[in-house]
Structure 1
């Protein structure tokens, strides 16, 4: 039996294909301006027996392709619980939202918080800030780790933060120190959400931002807890969808 999960997000589309409970294929592509076209392309000839769609584009995908749908919250919980059964709290920072999920036995969602009303603390926020400071997004976390000090950035609104960063640069502050301050702001926001949901034991960190080493280190420091990150943090939600497909 072959099942597939597709996570159609605002920035990227992720696909996980499983056969008899084992992952046989995983892929990621940019969402672009035609998400349904890109979603069909990423399938690349795969014809699973069961398919589950999640993410922002799940309902449109359901209309065009034979598939069931599930929320990102449930899919994320299922995927993370499959990889780390001992973890009870999950942080998912994606392109345009931040989710914190408290899970019970077998990945059952007990409680969650979600910030999806603005780009504050999301991957898009870090992408814009890295560009403003002249860093490649892939190296933004490493640059922040190399900072000599942390320059606080008070605003988490992307527009106001851009103005604040411009002002700090004009005052002669080093870009790496500002970068550290921006990372610190993201972590403080996420940590507040995590404390409201509750943390008992390790934190499972998923989503594209989980690849950022500075965010990972600052989270562990702020929470005084172990932060576990899957080998492919971006595909955890798609994995959960695949697991729930049959």
Structure 2
């Protein structure tokens, strides 16, 4: 089975997968640099190191058109659906929350794209929003699960990034515990995401992908608002890159 590489050039992180059959041989993850093409090149060189020949390279994500050495460029919607199905074969709905956008993808019984919605116009409900609020309260996204474990969420009235940041500062000045504010922010984001999912005629099981899927508190609150189970995977952040590598496999078979 030929080796293929998929690279997902995201606004916040660049992800890459070296794939052989259904098996992940190598992973790559870094913060997307000031020049996203540099991160793509770093991913490509790292993933192909020591590999005989030139693996088929498929690019997806915001920066997919920034380099000229890819064999194929594909929109992230197709890639995320394919990658999600490889991570969990019975997936029918995908919600992906990345650094600067969120998307819901509906798949048919065969795993083909049936419908989707994408929000890339508003930062609210994205990883960037969560990062901004966390830094405002003096913490990091990676610490949210520990900080908010068992904490009652404090209501948040605004989901606009600018106004929410001001509201968080006001709540802190009023003596509201930062743990309760953070739990409230996560809960408000999860509720917004649940409404986003509800706009599509989706069926379960639902797989949660993207960087925010690592936040167990978010996943738990999202499941509560959806009143259904929300699954994820250790490689959920790589779903786009994984799908891109799978598309490369299919292209190679056709060739």
TM-score range, shorter-chain basis? over 0.9
Residue equivalent to 1:28: 29
CA distance in 1, matches of 2:208, 2:200: 14
Quote the offset at 1:207 in angstroms.
0.3
Aligned mate of 1:94, from 94, 98, 113: 98
Residue equivalent to 2:122: 118
Q: Any idea what SS the aligned residue of 1:110 has?
A: strand
Q: Any idea what SS the aligned residue of 1:105 has?
A: coil
User: 1:192 and 2:198 equivalent?
Assistant: no
Conservation of the 8 A alpha-carbon contact between 1:89 and 1:198: no
Tell which deviates more after alignment, 80-89 or 49-58: 80-89
Q: Any idea what SS the aligned residue of 1:43 has?
A: helix
Q: Relative to structure 1, is the Cα distance of residues 48 and 192 closer, same or farther in structure 2, using a 3 angstrom cutoff?
A: farther
Residue equivalent to 1:237: 240
Matches within 5 A, 1:14-25: 14-25=15-26
Residue equivalent to 1:3: 4
Structure 1 unpaired stretches of 5+ = none
Deviation track 1:102-137 (CA, whole Å, cap 9, x = no partner) reads 011332111111110021000000001011112222
Q: Any idea what SS the aligned residue of 1:155 has?
A: coil
- Structure 1 segments of 4+ aligned residues over 6 angstroms from their partners: none
CA distance in 1, matches of 2:231, 2:116: 19
Aligned mate of 1:207, from 194, 202, 210: 210
Aligned mate of 1:155, from 148, 153, 158: 158
Quote the offset at 1:35 in angstroms.
1.1
Quote the offset at 1:143 in angstroms.
1.5
Q: Any idea what SS the aligned residue of 2:15 has?
A: strand
Quote the offset at 1:42 in angstroms.
1.7
| TM-score using structure 1 length | 0.94
Residue equivalent to 2:83: 79
* Matched pairs, number: 243
CA distance in 2, matches of 1:202, 1:66: 33
Q: Any idea what SS the aligned residue of 1:60 has?
A: coil
Tell which deviates more after alignment, 81-90 or 181-190: 81-90
Conservation of the 8 A alpha-carbon contact between 1:85 and 1:106: no
Conservation of the 8 A alpha-carbon contact between 2:87 and 2:235: no
Residue equivalent to 2:55: 49
Structure 2 unpaired stretches of 5+ = none
Quote the offset at 1:21 in angstroms.
3.7
Residue equivalent to 1:131: 135
Q: Relative to structure 1, is the Cα distance of residues 81 and 48 closer, same or farther in structure 2, using a 3 angstrom cutoff?
A: farther
RMSD: 1.4
Residue equivalent to 1:167: 170
